[in-house]
Chains A and B, each alone.
Chain A
């Protein structure tokens, strides 16, 4: 067992993990942050996307030990402390960008990462960016709409 320490959603945390423990498992089982979901075992589905040092990462592709010292943000860390949802989260609700909700945390985390990189993505760019996030419910239509709407909401209004 190895001791790991990292910052998760702004809080310093530590735990004892086996070398083979995945970051996704550590978040879910040790930190009880069950919003990070595990939908496959081949790093394809993207339900476990979190941010590690600002980058979108599939938490099943990383050992917990590799996140030593890292700043990790999970879906639980996206809304404001008073519960106000982020523009992306609000847009997903407004545009019905989720059904069963299982892929949703990963989708929201990927969408935030996309918009940090590219504040004004085209439909094609949104679809391309979501290659690593599988949704079986929505057919993606409303996810794409929601991300485009969130992008518009988040872009600074041009000065008059």
Chain B
């Protein structure tokens, strides 16, 4: 019988009532007394010399308080990058300055040039029209291959060939991989594009900065996944505000998918303006601004080579990738295409030799950074596509080819040739589960039915692995991270037994208020309603790195467990005193302390009361009160894995692809709330299908973003998508965190794009069209053209 509370229960979300009744409190719902409104003048050209910015006319417009330009921001630093990559030759990456407002040059359409602050947003917008910007156009750098050729224009004069760095991983494997590929009986080669995407959370970004001159306090309300990280970056690196005088508050956040990790120009400008004007300053992005200012995702061009022997055993893998950074290094823009990508190239397979080369390229486009999956979808897509191609070339069933090369259950812990150690997994069992839930036995009959209807049906099956729970701080420190990647929780018990969990993570749709309460309820044996979860406010939560990379339950949840364990340990001491028993004999179950071998009991609430009203209390040995904090630094990444199946029907007349069935079997280790986990998988799959079939962030030859609104950027709608069959019953618990959890937020977006594209190619090839590859998005026109040969 399903549990009705605690770990493993599909508890209904406590967040929902406020969201369903219009009582959510998002950043744009906040308005402060005396607040001014900001509006940005942005570059309309991709690349040019900024000759003149004349603000006098705008400054004289009604309601305008100030118009800021780069000249005003001389005291501010540039936006920092949080991870320094060392290149193949041992050199640090190039780090050109990322100014808050354009300095000397503009480098992408949408780059902020001036910030107009006025009484109302309409006045600010009107005045922005009056800011005169003179730009001398330069030829834009757009195509990555041309950009690194060495004889084109430069985005940053100090970065030769627009190459931020040339990264080899693992560099010591390079020669051995080359030799293995040279000598292999069979090598399958594929060149592909991982299309540029825009994260598009439904809530656009908003910032409200409030400097209080009377106290020197700075408060920033922000649409953020990680308010502590923002405080550190903005305070210590950009504006020089000591952290104890800077509070960052992220209220309800309306989705993020990575795009609200980063420190952005706009919130820095708001805080700078608030300090100067001594008034709160609010900026709310329009969707049109979001397209040209939210960090974009993906955008890799890759050549991948898989060497196999005659029976399909993988011998070696080599990849050569150009990864687009856009115009500037974003907060974690350097690590997304490198360590978050290269470390996953082994996939679920025992490929003995792997070498990954990534060259990161500056172009005159919006900066690129983490988007749901962040590097791992790029790794999975190329690997799972080249395996399907190899299967077709060798005449081996693609499912069988994968199975032959799986890391086997007895191989764990398994050290890959790309520097990570998988702790646990059972890829064969997950694949078997997929075959069952996707009813692959019925596929041939469905294909015949489709054929009878004049349609081509195809099946795509792939596996994926990802690394979540970032990350062991000492390891990532060696790899260039400029931050630690622990997380934290404080548990504050109240005198009457209720408690508050203050988390260093920050949910933005994932329901942590519910999930974290379930964990604590389970551990103490009290009702979930006795537990409140506070997050997203640096004044009320311990320093944590926030919610990204499917890390919240694996790292943040572990911190919640550790803090609760400390609470329970202390509570047992108090209970032992109250029951006049030895501490070692005290147990806690279902909210009641007992003494082994006796009928003595004391209730949870009585122990809490004793802690705060310590009349009968061991004060000589124990402090009163019941409040504990834990910081948890993980010993390893976690490695969720799964197998996905997609069935498509193609209309040969139009090339239109319809997804008929989609199934996902995932191993997330232990699951806290199955309902929430399944919802995360659904949403990830929808974004993966969006990437595969619909979404594309497209620039024209002048560097104008031509997919800059929902009229042109094809967001998946309800009628584009099927119902999904999902399963997470194959569970190999993580071996190194206390909950045995792995993380589930990104899996769907990682596992689904290759399933869709493999299904399309299967449909075409089974219909007699010899097509090796179609780049995403697999639009009707691309499919139709491929069918014409």
Using CB atoms and an 8 Å cutoff, list the residues of chain A in contact with chain B. 18, 20, 28-29, 33-42, 44-45, 47, 74-76, 78-79, 83, 85, 89, 92-94, 96, 98-105, 108, 123-124, 126-128, 130-131, 133-144
Contact = CB atoms under 8 A, between A and B. Distances in A.
Given A35-B21, A99-B509, A142-B679, A41 B288 contact: yes
B105 interface: no
B718 A144 contact: yes
Interface string B698-739: 000000000001110001111101011000000000000000
Contacts of A123: 723
Interface in B636-691: 675-676, 678-679, 682-687
A59 to B, nearest CB: 13
B13 A96 contact: yes
B202 A139 contact: no
Given A45-B202, A102-B202, A136-B687, 20 more contacts: A35-B21, A35-B24, A39-B204, A41-B287, A42-B710, A42-B711, A44-B709, A93-B20, A98-B19, A99-B510, A100-B19, A100-B255, A123-B723, A127-B718, A131-B718, A136-B201, A138-B679, A138-B682, A139-B683, A140-B686
A134 B202 contact: yes
B711 A137 contact: no
Nearest to A99: B509
A86 to B, nearest CB: 9
B721 A137 contact: no
B511 interface: yes
Contacts of A135: 202, 718
Given A98-B19, A134-B202, A139 B719 contact: no
A34 B254 CA distance: 13
Interface string B194-205: 000000111110
Contacts of B721: 127, 139-141
Nearest to B721: A140
Contacts of A139: 682-687, 716, 721, 724, 748
Contacts of B716: 139
Nearest to B285: A41
B642 to A, nearest CB: 16
Given A93-B13, A141-B682, A40 B710 contact: yes
B75 interface: no
A3 to B, nearest CB: 18
Given A100-B254, A131-B719, A134-B717, A142 B682 contact: yes
Interface string B1-44: 00000000000110111111111111011010000000000000
Contact of B509 (A36, A83, A92, A101): A101
Interface in B508-536: 508-511
A146 B17 CA distance: 15
Contacts of A102: 24, 26, 201-203, 254-255
B718 A45 contact: no
16 contacts: A34-B22, A37-B202, A39-B287, A42-B287, A101-B15, A101-B19, A102-B24, A104-B20, A127-B721, A128-B718, A128-B719, A135-B202, A136-B687, A137-B255, A139-B686, A144-B718
B20 A85 contact: yes
Contacts of A100: 19, 201-203, 252-255, 508-509
Nearest to B684: A139
Contacts of A143: 718
